[in-house]
Amino acid sequence: MKLSNLFKGIRLPRPPAAAPPVDLPAPERVYLPLRQHRGAVAEAQVKPGDQVAIGQVVGASEEFESAAVQATVSGVVESIVQTVDPAGQKVPTVVIKNDGADTWVADTAEALADPAGAKASRPSRLLKRLRESGLVRAQVEGRPLHVDLSPPMAPQSYLYMTGIPVVRPVDTLIVNAVDPDPPVCPNLSCLTQVGEELAVGVAALARISGAKRVILALPAGGDASALAAMAGQHEWETASVSQTAYPFATDNLLVSALTGRQVPTPYGEPKDVGVVLMPLISALDVGRVLISGRPVIDRVFTVAGEVKNPQTFRVRLGTPIRDVIEAAGGGPSRPGKIIVGGPMMGLAIFDPATPVTRSTEGVLVQSAGNVVSYADHPCIHCGRCVAACPVNLIPSELGKLCEFRMYEEAAEMNLMNCIECGCCAYVCPAKRPMVHFLRHGKTEVLAGRME
Amino acid sequence: MNENLLTVSTSPHKLGGMSVRSMYLEYIIALAPALLVGLYYFGFPALITVLLTVASAAVSEFVASLIKKKPSNLSNLHVLCMGLMLGMILPPGAPWWLPIIGGALTVLLGMSIFGGLGAYPMNPVLVAWVALYISWPESMNAFLEPQALGTGDEWSEAETLLMQLKGDVSTFEMVELGALWLGNVAGFIGSTSAWALLVGGVYLLIRRIIPWQIPVGAVLGAIGMALLAAYTDPSILELGYEEFGANMNIVWFHLGAGGFMIAAFFLGPEPVTSPVTPWGTFLFGVGIGLMTIIVRTWGGLVDGAFYGVLLMNAVTPLLDRIRPKVIGKVVSGA
Ligand code: SF4
Ligand code: SF4
């Protein structure tokens, strides 16, 4: 399948081959934000001074769009403090001091041994298990998995708001083993590590969503033989997806490339066109939760960029990112940026103590000398951004409109359909801060509509 | 102050590395072959003309930046590139003051009064060129007979093939297509050699500096229109060409002659004044091709390539409205 040759976007260097994740010992203290996803903040279920065991729920919420938070080390709750998450929001955070004993709470859920078990269980029961386990989609601003998998809550008003004509029942599950934003590549490093977990995970995801067809998106040029062999056994389809065409592997565009269905934007999601899309690492986590009956307490986390040994770790949730960077040999002497997510879409954080959470997939470290600078230069109308925009917008025009505060006019030119992929800024010879303009414009449009 | 503070800014955190300067540098590199061929055939007078144009453009930009109290734009090579392009479409026998006025007009009339790089609506090089042509038609037609470098003969005045074509359609039969494409004919300094311009143009295409739609559109438009003229225009029919091959010679003539190649690959795709949308750029190119041939065959002027570019510059805002369909956009009411 050579779909990517026709793809607009930009071409990035192929990510280096990734070794399987290395286990990182649990840190002295973990910091567990009570919101690790898009949605509501969980309420703390523990007080400072409480003794907790691994897997014990420390944060939970009645809200649907929220995820439970479990302790990832055993020890004493030291305090509950306010921290700032990568997106810049304040969030209460439970700090637990590790006693090193690694004691688990008594198992509550029974284990499902095999794919057959997953296939036989009722979807609602599986969904409940995922909700209790607090899994979150492995993606910056990812949503809790159970939200991603449930049918829309209130179909009528939802349809009205999004303007989507019909919602199709889900019939396709895409497991995406391609990392959209290399060189942060947690999926790539898990490629060879698949086994039982993936079989159970995929079976459960298919069962919950009702998908009949399973498609594995495999990275072209990666070592995907283990996955391909499994696909053969389980009658999953496979598709080879370019790793160098960016942003080909982001959700909506991948759905459209693999199924030919266009996800309605800006408010729609793959579910609306009958597709559920899961990153490989999320599918693996689902399998682990169901097989062990325990919540997942660690995270595959890539450290890329200017560190001594860029590599992928398996990190306890709540470990400060600083510690993981140290484990990778330490960052540059004059640090510039630490970016949660990849170079094109990631969020730069200001505090290296920000913890690893369920929705972080890795960091990119840049030294001060290599931080990009944008310019206050007029658009020279060269059209490179238009040739690169994967959703066919005219970024040059949108950028000018947003720069001159003509937000509604920009919205009429489909500003809201921008996926903030950053291709326009990447190619712009005038080095205009395109994504900054567009994001700012979007916020202003939303604020204007609220009034 | 903590030295190790981290930077926070919006994504993307990595850029493609293209800058305005590198873009115009590529342009200048791509212009080089045609310029060298021009200097080979037109020697010292051509060199002086080109140098004076570039220098005059640079000085004008410097003065303009002083008047505007803004840092000058010279370092991004844009003005130098524009001056060079104007130099390449001046006749080699031009008097010394013509390139000086031309360079100044390019910067002042073409760019500065509109607000500089990014803001002007029409190709400044061609604005200056047209102004010169209207004001001093004699000097703008001071063509020289080409001679190989170092022969040291006297320069003799000449007529371009397109001028001959105006008076006599049978020029089509006389030309040696080989010499024409090589650039061994009378014409503007840097636009006589179709091959050299093609090499530079293809370089720009490969480096993705210019959109492929414009040159491809221009060539297709020119071929289509030239064939149409060949099969319908009574004066050409009188020449009695029966075969397709003979009519294709007319096409080759038009592609190689005059300013078509430099218009299709360099002047037309000049970023600021050309459209950005895929179909818009294509139609822009087609327009240049059509205008070139229409003016050459039926118009009152000698060559239509430059006027074609200016005309299409004027419709660029319209062409930019031909937007591609936005992926995933919900068509309301569907
Ligand atoms: S306009 Fe939006 S979608 Fe298009 S390239 Fe720019 S960031 Fe990406
Ligand atoms: S790439 Fe930059 S300079 Fe070129 S049209 Fe787009 S915004 Fe303008």
Which stretch, A247-251, A394-398, B297-301, has highest mean pLDDT? A394-398
Q: What is the mean pLDDT of residues A3-12?
A: 74
Relative to the alpha carbon of A396, which ligand is closest? 2
Residues 6+ positions from A232 with CB-CB distance below 8 Å: none
The distance of Cα A336 from the centroid of its chain, to the nearest Å, equals 24
Q: Which residues line ligand 1 (CB under 6 A)?
A: A 388-389, 391, 393, 395, 418-424, 434-435, 438
Q: What is the mean pLDDT of residues A91-115?
A: 81
Whole-number percent of chain B with pLDDT over 70: 97
Confidence (pLDDT) at A6? 65
Place of tokens 């999320």: A282
* C-alpha–C-alpha distance, residues B110 and B120, integer Å: 7
| Residues pairing with A216 in the sheet | A175, A238
Span A25-82, pLDDT tens digits: 999 999 999 988 888 888 889 999 999 999 889 998 888 888 889 999 999 999 999 9
| Ligand 1 atom at shortest distance from the alpha carbon of A9 | 5
Q: What is the mean pLDDT of residues A269-294?
A: 88
Q: Assess whether the C-beta atom of A427 lies below 6 angstroms from ligand 2.
A: yes
pLDDT at A2 over 60: no
Contact A365, B7 (CB under 8 A): no
Which CA distances in Å does A145 have to A30, A278, A359, B178?
23, 9, 11, 69
In what order do the strands lie in the sheet containing A213-219?
A: A237-241, A213-219, A172-176, A275-279
Confidence (pLDDT) at B241? 78
- Residue of A393, A434, A445 to test ligand 1 pocket, by largest number of atoms within 8 Å of CB: A393
Which CA distances in Å does B120 have to A157, A381, B110, B115, B313?
48, 10, 7, 7, 10
Half-sphere exposure (Cβ direction) of B308: Cα atoms closer than 13 Å: 35
* C-alpha–C-alpha distance, residues A400 and A388, integer Å: 17
* C-alpha–C-alpha distance, residues B299 and B284, integer Å: 20
Confidence (pLDDT) at B334? 37
Q: Is A384's CB within 8 Å of B18's CB?
A: yes
Q: Which residues in B lie closer than 8 A to residue A390 (C-beta atoms)?
A: 327
Residue B1: pLDDT band by 50, 70, 90 thresholds?
A: very low
Closest partner CB to A265 (pick from B11, B325, B329): B329
* C-alpha–C-alpha distance, residues A423 and B12, integer Å: 8
- Dump the DSSP string for A354-390: PBP-TT--EEEEEEGGG-------------HHHHH-T
Q: Which residues in A lie closer than 8 A to residue B6 (C-beta atoms)?
A: 335-338, 348-352
The mean-pLDDT minimum among A171-185, B52-66, B231-245 falls in B231-245
Q: Which residues in A lie closer than 8 A to residue B15 (C-beta atoms)?
A: 372, 425-426, 428, 431
* C-alpha–C-alpha distance, residues A125 and A122, integer Å: 5
- The residue of chain B with its CA nearest to that of A426 is B15
pLDDT at A149 over 70: yes
Q: What are the φ/ψ torsions at residue B209 (nearest 5 degrees)?
A: -85, -40
| Residues pairing with B214 in the sheet | none
Average pLDDT, chain B: 89
Token pair for A212: 């009949």
Check residue B108 and report its DSSP letter: I
Confidence (pLDDT) at A132? 85
Q: Is A372's CB within 8 Å of B13's CB?
A: yes
Helices (H), B111-189: 124-135, 137-140, 161-167, 171-174, 177-182
Q: Is A383's CB within 8 Å of B327's CB?
A: no
Q: B285: closest CA among B293, B275, B295?
A: B275
Check residue B264 and report its DSSP letter: I
Span A156-196, pLDDT tens digits: 555 555 556 566 788 899 999 998 888 888 888 888 878 88
Residue A442: pLDDT band by 50, 70, 90 thresholds?
A: very high
Place of tokens 């013509």: B98
Helices (H), A104-165: 115-120, 123-133, 145-149, 155-162
- B321 touches A at CB < 8 Å: no
Confidence (pLDDT) at A1? 44
Q: What are the φ/ψ torsions at residue B222 (nearest 5 degrees)?
A: -65, -45
- Chain A from 258 to 277: CB within 8 A of any B CB: 262-265, 268
Which stretch, A133-137, A147-151, B216-220, has highest mean pLDDT? B216-220
A385 is known to lie in a ligand binding site: yes
The mean-pLDDT minimum among A234-248, B21-35, B130-144, B269-283 falls in A234-248
Whole-number percent of chain B with pLDDT over 90: 54
Where is pLDDT greater, at B240 or A156? Answer: B240
Q: What is the mean pLDDT of residues B101-109?
A: 94
- The residue of chain A with its CA nearest to that of B273 is A381
Beta strand A298-305 with A311-316 is antiparallel
Residue nearest (by alpha carbon) to ligand 2 atom 1: A428
Where is pLDDT greater, at A366 or B236? Answer: A366
- A426 touches B at CB < 8 Å: yes
- B272 touches A at CB < 8 Å: yes
Confidence (pLDDT) at A359? 87
Span A335-389, pLDDT tens digits: 889 999 889 999 999 888 899 998 888 999 999 888 888 988 899 999 999 999 9
Q: Is B15's CB within 8 Å of A431's CB?
A: yes
Q: Assess whether the C-beta atom of A402 lies below 6 angstroms from ligand 2.
A: no
pLDDT at B149 over 70: yes
Span A203-242, pLDDT tens digits: 899 988 888 899 999 988 878 888 888 888 888 898 888 8
Span A282-325, pLDDT tens digits: 999 999 888 888 888 999 999 999 999 899 999 999 999 999 99
pLDDT at A143 over 70: yes
pLDDT at B105 over 50: yes
Using only the alpha carbons of chain A, give its radius of gyration: 22
pLDDT at A5 over 80: no
A190 is known to lie in a ligand binding site: no
Confidence (pLDDT) at A395? 95
Where is pLDDT greater, at A286 or A139? Answer: A286
pLDDT at B318 over 90: yes
Closest partner CB to B328 (pick from A345, A417, A433): A417
In what order do the strands lie in the sheet containing A29-33?
A: A29-33, A90-98, A75-84, A51-52
Span B23-58, pLDDT tens digits: 999 999 999 999 999 999 998 889 999 999 999 999
Half-sphere exposure (Cβ direction) of B329: Cα atoms closer than 13 Å: 18
| Residues pairing with A311 in the sheet | A303
Residue B123: pLDDT band by 50, 70, 90 thresholds?
A: very high
Confidence (pLDDT) at B22? 93
Token pair for B43: 């020697």
Contact B260, B290 (CB under 8 A): no
Number of inter-chain CB pairs under 8 A, A vs B: 165
Sort B174 into a burial class: Cβ within 10 Å, 0-12 / 13-18 / 19+: exposed
Q: Is A337's CB within 8 Å of B14's CB?
A: no
Q: A176: closest CA among A122, A133, A240?
A: A240
Where is pLDDT greater, at B238 or A164? Answer: B238
- B23 touches A at CB < 8 Å: yes
Q: Is A439's CB within 8 Å of B18's CB?
A: no
Q: How far is the CA of A267 from the centre of ligand 1 (A)?
A: 16
Confidence (pLDDT) at B333? 40
Contact A404, B143 (CB under 8 A): no
Token pair for A140: 């910056």
Q: What is the mean pLDDT of residues B85-90?
A: 94
Residues 6+ positions from A88 with CB-CB distance below 8 Å: A347
What SS3 state is found at A58? strand
What SS3 state is found at B330? coil
Q: Is A384's CB within 8 Å of B327's CB?
A: no
A421 is known to lie in a ligand binding site: yes
